[in-house]
Amino acid sequence: MNEKALNILSVAWIAVAVVTLPFLLRITQPYGRHASKKWGAMMDNSLGWIIQEIPSPLVLSIFFFTGSGVKTPGAWLLWALWMLHYLNRCFVYPLRIRTRGKKIPVLIVVSAICFNCVNGFLNGSYLGNFGEVYGSDFFTSAQFLIGLPVFIIGAVINNYSDSVLINLRKPGETGYKIPTGGLFKYVSCPNHFGEIVEWWGFAIVAMSLPAWSFSIWTICNLIPRTLDNHRWYLDKFPDYPKDRKAVVPFVL
């Protein structure tokens, strides 16, 4: 596949994200605290996470390694950043969450598999075929010097906030509590905020349409989810801090 065709597919994928956003804002996605049997067959939550996330690093790696382009150090770095995030998301995170007995709709798992395959294909194809753009001057470029710290900051926020949520439950507990600490002082879902920042950092480093398409999709996926969670907190806990925003401190 040539770069023009890949960019056209990436623009089309961005258009799908923009068109999908209004529907995601109106329909609460039925997983986690919003899980519902109304959406069909259910499966174990942790197993579902593993199954739905693992296609992303697999597909990205397949197209990266089979691509005909030069595998420059910069291309390897971007592959490693993607793998670092998803190895945590595929294996570490599902084993850490204390959701024994909780279920996720199979429909959500299948949808996530398709989503992750598309993102893995677009980004893996770009890195595998056109990675020579990350040449000898890449590591002194503005995109690297700005984007990598943004990616790291987002990853730290995301993982720290996940740890706060996981540790709210003692072994054997299944209920929900008001999270505190870190950016929870300012927003209901700093884990989502961190993931958004993380993938925008990746897009800045990569400076490719496939990377930007994924960062835009991250916003379109997580903002509706965050707003649903924020409303849920306000409804469930009468003493929930009213000055907290949903996802972006002081803004949204």
Burial class (CB in 10 A: 0-12, 13-18, 19+), 216: buried
Long-range Cβ contact pairs of 181-186 (< 8 A, separation 24 or more):
182/157, 183/157, 183/249, 184/244, 185/244, 186/244, 186/245, 186/249, 186/250
- pLDDT the model gives residue 19: 95
Full-model pTM: 0.91
- Contacts of residue 171, Cβ cutoff 8 Å, sequence gap at least 6: 98
- For 14, half-sphere exposure in the C-beta direction (CA atoms, 13 angstrom radius) is 14
To 10 degrees, the CA torsion angle through 125, 195, 51, 221?
Answer: -90
The pair of structure tokens assigned to 99 is: 């959701």
- pLDDT the model gives residue 99: 64
- pLDDT the model gives residue 15: 97
Q: Bridge partners of 149?
A: none
- Concatenating the DSSP letter of every residue in 33-63 gives GG--GGGS-EEEHHHHHHHHHTHHHHHHHHH
3-state SS class at 178 = coil
Backbone angles phi, psi at 105, to 5 degrees: -60, 135
In single-letter form, the type of residue at position 57 comes to P
Sequence spans of domains, the chain: 3-236
d(CA 236, CA 142) in angstroms, rounded, equals 45
Low-confidence stretches of the chain (pLDDT < 70) are 31-36, 98-101, 171-174
